[in-house]
Structure 1
Amino acid sequence: MPFISLRTKWMIAFVLFVLIPILGASVYAYQAIENVLRKQVESSAEERLHQINLNIERKLQTMMHATSSLVIDENVKRVLVNPPVTERDKLNNTHTMDKKFLEMSTAIASDDLYFSVFDNYGTLYTNWGRSPGAKDVLTNSDWFHRTIEENGYMVWTLNHDNYALPGKHPLLTVSMVVRDESNQSIGQLAISEPTQAYLDVLQSGDPSLTGYGLLVGPDDSVLTYSRDEAMPLYASLKPIIDESADNTLSTSVNGNKYVLSTYSLPMTGWRVIQIVPHEAVFREIDKIRNVSTIIFAVSMVVFIGMIAFFSNMLTKPLRKLRVVMKQVEKGHLDVTADIRTRDEAGLLGQTFDKMLVRLQNHINREIVLERHREQAKLEALQAQINPHFLHNTLNTIRWMSIMAGTKPITEMLLSLGHLLDMSIHRGQDRILLREEMKNVRYFMTIQRYRFGDNVTVIEQLDETTLDALVPKLSLQPLVENVYRHASFQEGKGEMIIRSTVSPTGVLTLEIVDNGLEINKEKIKDIMESIEKEELHPTFSNVGLQNVHKRIRMMYGDAYGLQIQRSEAEGRTYVTIRLPLQREEDIDEDRGG
């Protein structure tokens, strides 16, 4: 299972049983309050939007009443049915119409209305200064033709070009045919007002309703004060607008929420559309929520920080003890927890320190005993040099003494005595390489008398390595294996004894022979048996395993014996790798 610290558990318990309940209760209370406030704000916004709709409708009703007043006025009818014949008649008719226009402007309390009245004889009466081509502009306009077609019904035209002041604000116009008592057409009437007045109503001055207002006609003509922004939004909401009745609802476009208000104007067939961003309606509530969230978050951070501080202070001794335990786990027993708090953690730390002291003493005793055991094993291995070799040598000496000749017997006895002396005196486990080579030479003297001079021995020894320390009787078993197991062509046997040292301080001893028998498969089997310490039926395992194991015991697994075969050269390489050590190095280690 993964490690979970006590501090983490305390923090988790705090979060689960303290922080989450407080947070849940706070969120629930805030949500309840916010819902009440949102309903109140939404209701207030709906009322303000509805007031805008009523203001638009009121202005249109004013124009409709003005139109009705002119249509039923007897003086207006008299002017229309009696076209001017003389200049005097023209002045009288103009005076009558101007008086009526002024009366209507005063009643409406607006100077921005444009009145235009045609009789059927081509006379035009207006309250605006018309240019020479104004009459043709009026009579050629689409709304004028629709007025003729409707033949007595009011025609409302939204957002068309300004005929009174070309290039200025577009106009909103109501027009109709004027009839007499016999329901005969006697002229046409048009009342126009700049659309800016309606844009001012749509663009409410209330900061909470900063959205988009549109006045939309049945022919999809649109009046709005921000076309570049409002028209794409209107196009996205048009399917919802077409399907919804007059209402105020919330909707989303491209991930943005809006309050959508629609209101129909039956007299014109138009609709007032108001689109207000959701955040504009609830801006103040969102501001309160953001401030509350920040305060709550800061409070939680401070509270959690205090809990973490006290938790850290309480668990610090335990964490210190855990670090010490990790070091002990890695083998460092010379550490102490040194916890001096007057509580359970301090008592635990002191007990752990005492336990470490006892453990260290026990391990030191075990190390001494293990060294004694290893020394005994090493001496036992050194005593295992092949007794079979001594037996054969003694037989050879016996037969040579029978066959006569004292000099060879003397040399063999001298060599054998040296080797026996080296084997019997076991107190020294490492000797100089030059002394080990003497043992090899004495051994080869005996071998020459046994097998003859069919093997040429070549020594390639680095002078700097002769004073290096090597395990006693480490080369002799390897040379013996060459004599015992390598097959040489008569008179062509060759054995090279080589010593080298690498820049990294590794001493390499090599025995190279050109015997014909061994192959790579046998070498692989031999190395596996040596590594597993298994007996091999062909090689002198006591010799090879003895050397390999002693080297591993003395210097570690990075060193030891290796056998390789080069088929191209026809040679077998037996290599020993040792760390380069001299007597002065050993003395310094012992002195230290």
Structure 2
Amino acid sequence: MKIIFAKIGQFYRNMPLKSKILFICYVQVLVPMIFIGYNSYVRSSIAIKNKSFSYSQDVLKMIELRIDDLRRDIDSFNLQLLYDNRVYDFLVSSKKRDALKNYSDTIYTRNILRDSVLSRSDIESICIVTNSRNYIYYDFDRSKPSISKRLPYSYIYSKAMKQRGKATWVVYKNKDNVKDIYVARIIYNKDDYKPIGLLALIIKKNFIQSLYNDLSEDFVHNISILSYDNGEILNNKGNNKYISVLRKSKLTKSGEHFIDAKDKILISYVVLKQPHWKIVYHIPFDKLYSDINKLRLDVILIVIWSIVILYAVSRIMAYDIIKPIMKLVHAMRDFEAKGVHRPVTMKRNDEIGYLGNSFNNMSEKIDYLLNMMYKEKLTRKEAELKALQAQINPHFLFNTLENINWMAQLNGVKEISSTVTALANLMEASIGKGDKLIRLEDELKYIDNYVEIIKNRFGDRLVVKKNIDERALNVYIPRLLIQPIIENAISHGIEPVRRNGVIAIKAKVQYNDVIIEISDNGIGMEEKELEEVIKSVETGQISDNKNSVGLSNVNKRIKLFFGEEYGISIKSQYDKYTKITVTIPYEVKGGN
């Protein structure tokens, strides 16, 4: 998994910036939109399913109440028939009466049955059957077979006997279809409570259906009424394909619902206590979720339009962001390949504009520095050529001095020999063989050579005193660093006065530094002149005072080699002294 995530991360990092921006825009918009759409769809589906179940239960219970009212009304009606004394007397004594009386009571009973059927819209046929199986009946619809022929007497009689005088609702099926709906009641003798007849009537199916015909057409078409053994009492022809599903379903508890995922229907039902019928409402998923499907289609269309709009907006945004960045990238590549500074024009004040301005400033400075380095390299080469050419004369002069030295020794002129030797040593130091840094001990030898040459001019009038800490002798300093200070002290300090000149050189180690002090008892400097010299030394600017040129040069060399914290300091008092203090780091190992 780590390898897969690493590859995905690497792939994302290698994607162009434009693709990354578009990808992030799509993810930020599409993922929440898909999540919200899916969540809305699921919640709406659950809400619609629950609402459909709740609504169907309300309607089914209303139909249940109407059927129960019909049952109560039928029960009351057949009791009224039995309360008629003439009808009762006819059933009790039909065998004992003469034919004329029996015929008269028969006509009377038939007329009562006829009036009852004609006065009610829920009864199709009615009959009273005596124990001798004589039928007194009336049929509302003469086009159908008579109830005397349709009535399954034995079956209905056995069902009615189980109710012991109460009315029973019996559905008579032909295979799975209910042929007739009977309401039957056994008629008992009041004296001995023995059966004396059977009252049976057929209920109109269309009347039962009329109990809920006032509902919406879609709802009516999806209602089916089944018997307790799942016989089809009422059903719309369009629901035939679902009847087998309803018959297989275990509809036991009243007020329940379930989903048949195989046939994709929602089934809601109630079970009547009497006459144990099942009122079933079913709705296919395509109808149940028709609004949801519309919502889903709307969500899909919204997502598609969002993608289109997002694509257009993100392309514009990406173009607005990527275009200036690509300008920067091309400018960087050109600058990297060709080294040519070409300003990037960006008329914006955001972060990208800041990057463009920064790149312009940076490339301009780099271009300037490259040009400076190029010019400096040319200048350096010219200087090296000139230096090589200039070294020819010192070497020639050095060789010439060596020849003079040998001639002076051969002629026994020691003063000329020693002076020429000292001058040759100084010439060797000025040519700069070896490292740029030398030990302080070697620097003091060069000073001795310089003083020996100068003494030919000043004689005993010039004295040089040394007080050197032995630890400081091995410290490395720039070549000919102290000699210009000695030369400056003699030229500008001792030479203008008539008294003997004394130059004191002191060197000591103090913490991590070496302090070198060069003092003379010469003319010194007035306060104003001292300020000018100090300013010239500190700033490095050339002053009219010749005394400051050599000191400024020494100070610059110290700072270049050792850093800004090192350098020289100057103290002086007119006609008394001048003291130059050199501060350098205590380093006993040399370097370039």
TM value normalised by structure 1: 0.46
Bigger radius of gyration? 2
TM value normalised by structure 2: 0.46
